[in-house]
Chains A and B, each alone.
Chain A
Amino acid sequence: MKSRKLIVSIVLMSLVLAAAMIGCSSTPKTEPQAAAEPQFEKYHAIVDARFVMDHITVPMAENVMIIDSRPKRAKYDKGHIPGAVSIPFSQFDKMTDQLPAEKDALLIFYCGGLKCPLSHKSAFKAEELGYTNIKVFAKGFPGYMKVAGNYPAVSVEWVKAQLDKGADIVVIDARPKKPKYDKGHIPGAISIPDSQFDKYQDLLPAEKDKTLVFYCGGLKCPLSHKSAKKALAMGYTSVKVFATGYPAWVAYAGKDATVKTTAVQSGGEEGSIDNAVFTKIINTEPGSIYLVDVRDPAEFSTGSFETAVNIPIDQLEAKIPELPASRPIVFVCGTGARSGEAYYMVQDLRPELKEVYYVEAEITFNQDGSFKLTQVTQ
């Protein structure tokens, strides 16, 4: 009898346990808290991306201000809606002097998307200050970037930091080369004037995922924006505009952090480049010339200039039609013999190329990437 009770008890307990387990597995999962409606008071005038984009102009209209409420360094510097000013919510009270004087000016606040309260909170604060035409772009920066063809603007702090750490970006000066770029530009920037974009687009990198940063003459200059759109149309996937441009660079990095174009000067021998000028170009803006190392691949692999392309002299003739006409071409080798031959080959086969030079010197490449030119006595 006892054993029968025991069996019944075990069976009952098993059933209870099984039921409990089934119950556990079939209980609907509660929605994560994150997906719930944001727990903050939303501003009453919400606008979409189209509304924001309709108000992005270069320069921005005086009675319109797009305001990025996110933290500046962590968010705004890395990417923001072009034309937007940074007034982080945490700094709002200290920065009200940056808001337009006219209380009926259109203020569009945004931050990091639907879950971000910063733009709404800033909008309420602006309302308290008496502004009457306030909107919140609730989808914020992510919503803006989702629109095909849109690109972010970056700040001068971000550009300088990238260049200082040697990031793999290409900075493009969209201003006219003469006199703007030649007079002064960001070190390492290449010149592709927007008006000649199609002609010089071959200067852009072949890799379409490389980050391109266009700049021109500041917030009133549309050239960098126009060029950025052309680059996107070409298929580049990481295009940014440094909208505050060259004036911001000079103000932030200083005049000493700009470079003038070094004019290519002939050396003593016909077709040769002045060695001092060549050295300066390599050290300051190697991208301003198309540098061709005509040595054999085995020699090239032991060391060459960082920006040099290797076209062995025996293969040069077939590739002469492909040489770019957009910047000076300089041939190098170990002694000036093959580079000199390359110079005369181009003179013979493509005489319309006027800016062609060779280095008439012995070139020694060191392990640390440096090089030494030794004048060759003819």
Chain B
Amino acid sequence: MKKWLMFALALTISISFVGAAFAIDKGNKRKGKYIYRKVYKACHERGEVDSAKPPINPDAKTQAEWTTVFSGKTFDEFGCADEWSQLSDEDLSNIYAYLHDHAADSPTPLKCK
């Protein structure tokens, strides 16, 4: 019984750490907007995409969905992998703040104007 208790405690602590590792802070949404657009401008200049305009607008997802995307760092759907791979954690948290604060279920859903 004591062993089970210890195991459960260890598991809880482990899960907490794993969760913390994937948690993402919300940065500066104004800066995030600029960095987000800059990613696609660079990508467009490199010739990978046809437009310098970001393909996914903030209102394309809910706030929870954006949190999932950025917590898991699953950016495949964004394309421009080279540019995304070079973003720092601070850049990502800024972009996250921009997309999250203007998500479909936010008070101010936004297309990438």
A and B from one complex: yes
Report B-chain residues with C-beta under 8 Å of the C-beta of A270: 28, 30-31
Q: B78: CB under 8 A from chain A?
A: no
Report B-chain residues with C-beta under 8 Å of the C-beta of A338: 113
Most A C-beta atoms less than 10 A away, residue of B30, B34, B35: B30
Q: A345: CB under 8 A from chain B?
A: yes
Report A-chain residues with C-beta under 8 Å of the C-beta of B31: 270, 340, 344
Report B-chain residues with C-beta under 8 Å of the C-beta of A345: 34
CB distance from A188 to the nearest CB of B (A): 32
Report A-chain residues with C-beta under 8 Å of the C-beta of B110: 337
Report B-chain residues with C-beta under 8 Å of the C-beta of A378: 29, 101
Other-chain contact of A344, B34, B101, B113 (Cβ < 8 Å): B34
Q: A336: CB under 8 A from chain B?
A: yes
Report A-chain residues with C-beta under 8 Å of the C-beta of B28: 269-270
Report B-chain residues with C-beta under 8 Å of the C-beta of A271: 30
Over the window 32-73 of chain B, the binary record of Cβ atoms lying under 8 Å from chain A Cβ atoms (1 yes, 0 no) is 011101100000000000000000000000000000000000
Q: Chain B contact residues: over half helix, strand or loop, or mixed?
A: helix
Q: A348: CB under 8 A from chain B?
A: yes
Which residues, 260 to 302 on A, are CB-close (under 8 Å) to B?
A: 269-271
Q: A93: CB under 8 A from chain B?
A: no
CB distance from A344 to the nearest CB of B (A): 4
Most B C-beta atoms less than 10 A away, residue of A336, A341, A345, A360: A341
Measured in the bound complex, the distance between the Cα atoms of B34 and A336 in whole Å is: 13
Which residues, 336 to 378 on A, are CB-close (under 8 Å) to B?
A: 336-338, 340-341, 343-345, 348, 358, 360, 378
Smallest Cβ-Cβ distance to A269: which chain B residue:
B30
Q: Is the CB of B30 within 8 A of A337?
A: yes
Measured in the bound complex, the distance between the Cα atoms of B65 and A47 in whole Å is: 89
Report A-chain residues with C-beta under 8 Å of the C-beta of B101: 378
Smallest Cβ-Cβ distance to B33: which chain A residue:
A341
Report B-chain residues with C-beta under 8 Å of the C-beta of A341: 30, 33-34, 37
Over the window 320-350 of chain A, the binary record of Cβ atoms lying under 8 Å from chain B Cβ atoms (1 yes, 0 no) is 0000000000000000111011011100100
A/B interface sample: 22 pairs, CB < 8 A: A269-B30, A270-B28, A270-B30, A271-B30, A337-B30, A337-B33, A337-B110, A337-B113, A338-B113, A340-B30, A340-B31, A340-B33, A341-B33, A341-B34, A344-B31, A344-B33, A345-B34, A348-B34, A358-B30, A360-B30, A378-B29, A378-B101
Listed in ascending order, the chain A residues whose CB lies under 8 Å from chain B are: 269-271, 336-338, 340-341, 343-345, 348, 358, 360, 378
Which 3 residue pairs of A and B lie closest in terms of their CB atoms, listed nearest first?
A340-B30, A344-B34, A341-B34
* Besides the known contacts A270-B30, A337-B110, A341-B34, 15 further A-B residue pairs in the complex with CB atoms under 8 A apart: A269-B30, A270-B28, A270-B31, A338-B113, A340-B29, A340-B30, A340-B31, A343-B30, A344-B30, A344-B33, A344-B34, A344-B35, A358-B30, A360-B30, A378-B29
